[in-house]
Amino acid sequence: MYKLGLIGQNISASRAPALHKMLGALNHLPVSYELQVPSDKSAEAFSEKLDEMRKEGFTGTNVTFPYKQIAIERADVVNEAVRKTGASNTLCIKEGKIYAFNTDYTGFIRGYRGRVGDLPAGKVLLIGAGGVGRAIGFALFEVGATELMVTDLNVAGAQSLVDAVNAAGYKARYVPAEEVGEAAKQADGLVNCTPVGHYSTPGMPLAVEHFAGQSWAFDAVYTPMDTEFLIAANQAGLKIVSGFDLFFYQGIDAFELFTGQPVQNIEPVWQQFREQYDVVSDLI
């Protein structure tokens, strides 16, 4: 039995259990997937929950808000994506050791290429520099980004990402809130990695009038699939990469890491999972 889980806060509506159980059934592998909510948002509470899971024989766990950066502190081995981003969303437990991966990083790359092909990401405005923002920020350079412009209400977090990107040999700069409109005009791609647009935090992270002249857009939010951000991008003629793309492909990558088995025939899996999803997208 592959005993899997997800550690996070506010995860009761997560579709991760459904995806991993479906992948297990389609690949003829015995899989369970349980949601795990620590007592609070602290590193100590995360560690307590992870230790419980290890004792209960879990094979691995996904990690979501607010623990993606905390998670690497418990890892014995981290891969290159984790070293770059400073965050992990996937932990494998093998032979007493914890291995950290970042499938937000790899999943975004697969989702981007699946939607826009070989189109270089170019100059990108990234809104939101948290755990997923860091992963996407670095992944963008794997799909042809030339410069990353980062804005976040948490100025220190945004500057930390900018510094890390520049230290890795790429090009990035911080964009203060009052300059976001001008940065959007300069951008080839627009990326939302904030919670704004989610069912629980509706709204727009970028004013509608700033969607004009770019080539593509990505929204990490996937509930709903058709966010106001993606609708505005679509109406402005931009190519779309959705949060559902990221969710699906990071899940595929995590499942393969957990089980050691490649997922075959991904397109039918995509279609079947979409049919089970409670909202049918007009955009993807």
Which active-site residues does the annotation give? 67
Q: How is residue 70 written in tokens?
A: 């905390």
69 and 87 in contact (C-beta within 8 Å)? yes
Helix axes 155-167, 131-139, angle to 10 degrees: 30
Q: How is residue 71 written in tokens?
A: 């998670």
Dist CA 58 CA 5 (whole Å): 8
87 and 71 in contact (C-beta within 8 Å)? yes
How many residues are present in the chain?
284
CA end-to-end span of the chain, whole Å? 34
Q: How many CB atoms lie within 10 A of CB 179?
A: 12
What amino acid is encoded at 244 in this protein? F
